[in-house]
């Protein structure tokens, strides 16, 4: 037995053993939570995680990266650049068919994709989570109506609707795109939230909350919603790559953010015209898109297994 | 303090209307409870004890539940109160401890916050006071190192600890009436003992009235003042706990006691289970609900439902045509024995050939738990 800090030995020390979780399982307490978390990942998930961090950081800090070219600067117009150039010291990934720097466009394109995906997920969680929790906990006529609406909405093909609306719109900046996307994103979140809220409402702790005089509104906010949130977060991690692809699809169809704003789908579309001359302007955004989507899926899968082991341990 | 009546339940009925028919979970229960006393409600699974407790607390939800009768708490009929009025009573006057501490705590909220949740709602307390109260409560229910546990989530605690937390949260607003709905069923035996002792101690210290719902006679033995035995939604026997054990009147109570395994028995003694199954509450038999399983059953039992009548002067009530220990009961037993009724034979077998029925069960007073 190790010497305890007090110095004098007492028989009670034998009996007591480790006094808290930190002593029993060093590193298990909240403080080193992140370290543990990353260390437990398989190597591929680690790579995916790091890639996502890189993409997110690059997108967020694009303006601060020293030496990064202007994504819309067309060198050949001013006589200091070439179109369809291979990798050079100033253009690491080369230039596209109007002599813009591909790396810069990739990084600024990530910004569009990620803002689109993350804000739609946030809207889905907030709007869908609220509506679904209300429907699942309060039940009644409201639920019947809301769920009928959700079912009708979901039966309508979202891509066609998006293409229709974006075609009709005169202006297509990121904000407009997000708002249009939100119209099609909320129903699936509502449905998941409602299903989870239904099962949560039947749990004893909700009855226990009632038995101490908690109001229905407070139960919704304090008991139901926090327990609905994990399900929504799990769903949104799967939903993120789908939304990234959706944004790229729209851009590829020319219905995404207006040109010349860089976006991955738009870059592929642009490169399509000269695909037989130079394939690289299409390959880079395609690979980036693939890696990002794959990373999200891989990470989502890992989180899911972690959550499964954790709930099994409870 | 003692003496004044705190809870009086009169002819309480609760039914669930299901696709297969009306399920009568509680069928006319009446009892009264004095301030500071404790009452044990005993019965098999499905006997309606939990529904009874939840009906009194108005916790049964759903459009298919119908409750009639009355439950007077401090002179006010709980069943007639509006939701708003009820909300004022819940937690502050009446509280409940649930069966399964795994599900009765919110998995997403730290235990310290759960304990003081209703303090924050019912009384205006600031954060520091609330935290101190939470600490005091956790210490009071004997949670070791409450300071470090206060910020833990429920899944980080063991079952016994969690039940202590839910007890602490039920006690937070100092209710005068506490329902404990099988508080120890989900726990192992040693923890059961600790939790029950904790509850008894809190009840005595706070002069709280407590209703303990359980299916285990050992849980109430020596812990509650009065006992109510329920079967198929009805009270079949009601007396002070000592009386129930010493002068058992109802065959069902007797069968429950007989089915408790004892350490004095030789090993590998078969358990004296009650033959048959409890009746399905949608299709109750005519006459006495226990008649199909009763070793003393007579033709009259299938025809008429025995009323709950007083026996003696001590408030002992029982609902049986042939109460245990009476001559009629002995004759009925012998008649059934010669008719070779299966449940009677099973009882005779477990008693041994030379013993006669109706012996008071030799339960130790301290109880098994």
For residues B137 and B168, the answer to whether their CB atoms sit within 8 Å is yes
Q: What is the dihedral of CA B257, B262, B267, B271, to 10 degrees?
A: 20
A211·B108 Cβ contact <8 A: no
A209·B104 Cβ contact <8 A: no
pLDDT digit string (tens) for A65-92? 877 777 777 777 777 777 777 777 777 7
Using pLDDT thresholds of 50, 70 and 90, give the confidence band for residue A209: confident
Does any domain span residue A178? yes
Chain B residues in contact with A218 by the CB 8 A cut-off are 121
**B193 close to A (CB below 8 A):** no
Cα nearest neighbour of B93 on chain A: A212
- The 3-state DSSP composition of chain A as helix, strand, coil percent (nearest 5) reads 70, 0, 30
For residues A96 and A105, the answer to whether their CB atoms sit within 8 Å is yes
- Which tokens sit at A45? 């998930």
Bridge partner list, B239: B227
Does any domain span residue A78? yes
pLDDT digit string (tens) for B153-196? 888 888 888 888 988 888 888 889 999 988 888 788 888 888 88
Does any domain span residue A2? no
- Of B235, B196, B332, which Cα lies nearest the Cα of B12? B235
pLDDT digit string (tens) for A36-50? 778 788 899 999 999
Give the least confident one: B86-90, B149-153, B266-270. B266-270
| Interatomic CA distance for residues A273 and B183, integer angstroms | 73
Does any domain span residue A36? no
Measure A219 CA to nearest chain B CA, in Å.
Answer: 11
B87·A207 Cβ contact <8 A: no
B98·A204 Cβ contact <8 A: yes
pLDDT digit string (tens) for B200-259? 888 988 889 999 999 888 888 888 899 999 998 899 999 999 888 888 889 999 888 888
A212·B95 Cβ contact <8 A: yes
Which of B64, B89, B114, B117 best tests the A interface by mutation, with the highest count of A CBs <10 A? B117
Which of B55, B62, B106 best tests the A interface by mutation, with the highest count of A CBs <10 A? B106
- Model pLDDT, residue B123: 72
| Interatomic CA distance for residues B315 and B247, integer angstroms | 12
Complex confidence, ipTM: 0.74
Element (H, E) at B248: none
B104·A204 Cβ contact <8 A: yes
Is it the case that residue A292 has pLDDT exceeding 90? yes
Rounded to the nearest integer, the mean pLDDT of chain B is: 84
A205·B169 Cβ contact <8 A: no
Q: Is the peptide bond before A260 cis (omega within 30 degrees of 0)?
A: yes
Q: Where are the domains of chain B?
A: 5-229, 247-351
Does any domain span residue A31? no
pLDDT digit string (tens) for B278-313? 888 788 888 888 888 888 888 888 888 888 888 877
Domain count along chain A: 1
Q: Residue B207 burial by CB count (10 A; 0-12/13-18/19+): exposed, middle or buried? A: exposed
CB nearest A214 (choices: B94, B121, B156)? B121
Chain B residues in contact with A214 by the CB 8 A cut-off are 87, 91, 117-118, 121
Pick the more confident residue, A141 or A77.
A141
Using pLDDT thresholds of 50, 70 and 90, give the confidence band for residue A187: very high
B121·A213 Cβ contact <8 A: yes
- Of A143, A136, A119, A313, which Cα lies nearest the Cα of A231? A136
A211·B59 Cβ contact <8 A: yes
Chain A residues in contact with B88 by the CB 8 A cut-off are 213
- Model pLDDT, residue A48: 93
Mean pLDDT of A53-62: 90
Mark out chain A residues that contact chain B at CB-CB < 8 A.
Answer: 19-21, 203-205, 207-215, 218, 222-223, 226-227, 229, 313-314
Is it the case that residue A22 has pLDDT exceeding 70? no
Is it the case that residue B47 has pLDDT exceeding 90? no
CATH dotted code for B5-229: 3.40.50.300
For residues B363 and B217, the answer to whether their CB atoms sit within 8 Å is yes
| CB neighbour burial string for A11-42, b if at least 16 within 10 angstroms, e if fewer | eeeeeeeeeeeeeeeeeeeeeeeeeeeeeebe
Measure B30 CA to nearest chain A CA, in Å.
Answer: 22
Does any domain span residue A305? no
Using pLDDT thresholds of 50, 70 and 90, give the confidence band for residue A96: confident
| Interatomic CA distance for residues A47 and A54, integer angstroms | 10
- Model pLDDT, residue B344: 86
Chain B residues in contact with A203 by the CB 8 A cut-off are 103
Chain B residues in contact with A307 by the CB 8 A cut-off are none
C-alpha pair distances (Å), A294 with each of A38, A56, A69, A242, B125: 18, 15, 28, 11, 50
- Model pLDDT, residue A12: 52
Does any domain span residue A310? no
- Model pLDDT, residue A158: 82
- Model pLDDT, residue A146: 93
- Which tokens sit at A314? 């409870």
CATH number of the CATH domain containing A228? 1.10.3720.10
**B103 close to A (CB below 8 A):** yes
Pick the more confident residue, B218 or A23.
B218
| Interatomic CA distance for residues A212 and B91, integer angstroms | 4
Is it the case that residue B365 has pLDDT exceeding 50? no
Full-model pTM: 0.75
| CB neighbour burial string for B286-310, b if at least 16 within 10 angstroms, e if fewer | ebbbbbbbbbbbbeebeeebbebee
Measure A165 CA to nearest chain B CA, in Å.
Answer: 40
Bridge partner list, B14: B26, B67
Q: Nearest 5°: phi and psi at B141?
A: -85, 15
Cα nearest neighbour of B122 on chain A: A213
- Model pLDDT, residue B229: 93
| Interatomic CA distance for residues B158 and B30, integer angstroms | 38
Using pLDDT thresholds of 50, 70 and 90, give the confidence band for residue A119: very high
Using pLDDT thresholds of 50, 70 and 90, give the confidence band for residue A122: very high
Chain A residues in contact with B86 by the CB 8 A cut-off are 213
Mean pLDDT of B107-127: 80
Query: What residues 332-361 of chain B have any CB closer than 8 A to a CB of chain A?
Result: none
Chain A residues in contact with B169 by the CB 8 A cut-off are 208, 212
- Of B14, B120, B2, which Cα lies nearest the Cα of B57? B14
Cα nearest neighbour of A16 on chain B: B144
For residues B184 and B11, the answer to whether their CB atoms sit within 8 Å is no
Q: Nearest 5°: phi and psi at A264?
A: -60, -45
Q: Nearest 5°: phi and psi at A287?
A: -65, -45
**B253 close to A (CB below 8 A):** no
Measure A218 CA to nearest chain B CA, in Å.
Answer: 10
Mean pLDDT of B13-27: 89
C-alpha pair distances (Å), A80 with each of A63, A278, B107, B168: 22, 20, 62, 76
Beta strand pairing call for B177-181 and B65-73? unpaired
Give the least confident one: A44-58, A90-104, A222-236, B345-359. B345-359
Chain B residues in contact with A313 by the CB 8 A cut-off are 155
- Model pLDDT, residue A73: 76
Is it the case that residue B102 has pLDDT exceeding 90? no
Is it the case that residue B356 has pLDDT exceeding 60? no
pLDDT > 90: percent of chain A? 29
pLDDT digit string (tens) for B64-93? 888 899 999 988 898 888 888 888 888 888
Chain B residues in contact with A226 by the CB 8 A cut-off are 106, 108-109
Chain B residues in contact with A19 by the CB 8 A cut-off are 145
**B62 close to A (CB below 8 A):** no
- Model pLDDT, residue B355: 46
- Model pLDDT, residue A2: 45
- Which tokens sit at A170? 């005169």
pLDDT > 90: percent of chain B? 13
Enclosing domain of residue A243: 57-287
Show the beta-strand stretches assigned E in chain B. 5-18, 21-34, 38-42, 65-73, 76-77, 94-97, 177-181, 209-214, 226-231, 234-240, 309-311, 316-318
DSSP three-state, residue B8: strand
Q: How many residues does chain A have?
A: 314
């Amino acid at each position: 037995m190790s010497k305890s800090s007090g110095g004098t030995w007492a028989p009670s020390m034998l009996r007591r053993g480790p006094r808290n979780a930190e002593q029993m399982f060093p590193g298990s307490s909240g403080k080193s939570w992140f370290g543990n978390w990353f260390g437990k990942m398989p190597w591929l998930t680690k790579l995916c995680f790091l890639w996502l961090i890189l993409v997110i950081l690059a997108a967020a800090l694009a303006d601060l990266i020293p030496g990064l070219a202007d994504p819309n600067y067309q060198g050949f117009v001013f006589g200091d650049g070439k179109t369809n150039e291979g990798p050079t010291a100033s253009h690491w990934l080369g230039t596209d068919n109007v002599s813009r720097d591909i790396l810069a466009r990739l990084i600024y394109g990530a910004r569009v994709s990620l803002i689109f995906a993350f804000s739609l997920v946030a809207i889905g969680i907030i709007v869908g989570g609220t509506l679904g929790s209300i429907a699942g906990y309060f039940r009644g006529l409201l639920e019947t109506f809301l769920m009928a609406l959700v079912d009708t909405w979901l039966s309508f093909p979202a891509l066609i609707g998006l293409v229709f609306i974006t075609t009709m719109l005169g202006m297509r900046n990121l904000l407009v795109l997000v708002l249009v996307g939100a119209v099609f994103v909320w129903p699936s979140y509502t449905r998941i939230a409602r299903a989870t809220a239904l099962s949560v409402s039947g749990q004893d702790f909700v009855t226990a909350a009632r038995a101490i005089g908690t109001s229905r509104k407070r139960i919704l906010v304090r008991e139901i919603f926090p327990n609905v949130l994990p399900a929504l977060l799990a769903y949104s991690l799967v939903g993120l790559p789908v939304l990234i692809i959706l944004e790229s699809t729209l851009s590829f169809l020319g219905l995404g953010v207006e040109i010349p704003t860089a976006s991955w789908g738009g870059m592929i579309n642009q490169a399509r015209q000269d695909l037989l001359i130079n394939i690289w302007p299409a390959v880079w955004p395609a690979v980036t898109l693939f890696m990002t989507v794959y990373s999200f899926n891989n990470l989502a899968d890992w989180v899911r297994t972690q959550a499964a082991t954790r709930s099994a341990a409870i | 303090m003692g003496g004044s009546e705190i809870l009086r339940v009169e002819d309480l009925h609760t039914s669930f209307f299901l696709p297969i028919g009306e399920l009568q979970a509680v069928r006319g229960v009446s009892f009264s409870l004095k301030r500071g006393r404790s009452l044990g409600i005993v019965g098999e699974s499905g006997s309606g004890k939990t529904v009874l407790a939840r009906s009194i607390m108005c916790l049964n939800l759903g459009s298919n539940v119908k409750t009639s009768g009355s439950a007077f708490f401090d002179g006010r009929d709980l069943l007639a109160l509006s939701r708003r009025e009820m909300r004022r009573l819940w937690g502050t006057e009446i509280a409940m401890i649930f069966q399964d501490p795994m599900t009765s705590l919110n998995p997403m909220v730290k235990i310290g916050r759960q304990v003081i949740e209703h303090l924050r709602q019912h009384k205006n307390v600031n954060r520091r006071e609330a935290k101190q109260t939470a600490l005091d409560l956790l210490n009071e229910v004997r949670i070791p190192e409450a300071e470090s546990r206060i910020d833990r989530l429920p899944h980080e605690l063991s079952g016994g600890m969690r039940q202590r937390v839910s007890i602490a949260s039920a006690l937070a607003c100092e209710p005068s009436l506490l329902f404990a709905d099988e508080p120890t069923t989900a726990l192992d035996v040693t923890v059961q003992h600790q939790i029950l002792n904790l509850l008894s101690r809190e009840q005595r210290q706070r002069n709280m009235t407590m209703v303990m719902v359980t299916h285990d006679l050992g849980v109430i033995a020596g812990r509650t003042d009065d006992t109510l035995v329920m079967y198929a939604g009805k009270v079949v026997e009601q007396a002070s706990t000592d009386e129930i054990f010493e002068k058992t009147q109802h065959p069902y109570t007797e069968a429950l006691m007989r089915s408790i395994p004892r350490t004095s028995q030789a090993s590998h003694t078969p358990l004296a289970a009650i033959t048959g199954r409890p009746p399905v509450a949608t299709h109750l038999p005519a006459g006495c609900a226990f008649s199909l399983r009763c070793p003393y059953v007579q033709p009259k039992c299938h025809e008429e439902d025995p009323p709950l009548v007083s026996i003696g002067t001590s408030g002992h009530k029982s609902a049986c045509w042939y109460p245990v220990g009476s001559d009629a009961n002995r004759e009925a037993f012998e008649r059934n024995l010669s008719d070779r009724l299966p449940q009677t034979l099973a009882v005779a077998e477990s008693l041994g050939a030379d013993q006669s029925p109706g012996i008071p069960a030799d339960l130790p007073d301290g109880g098994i738990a």
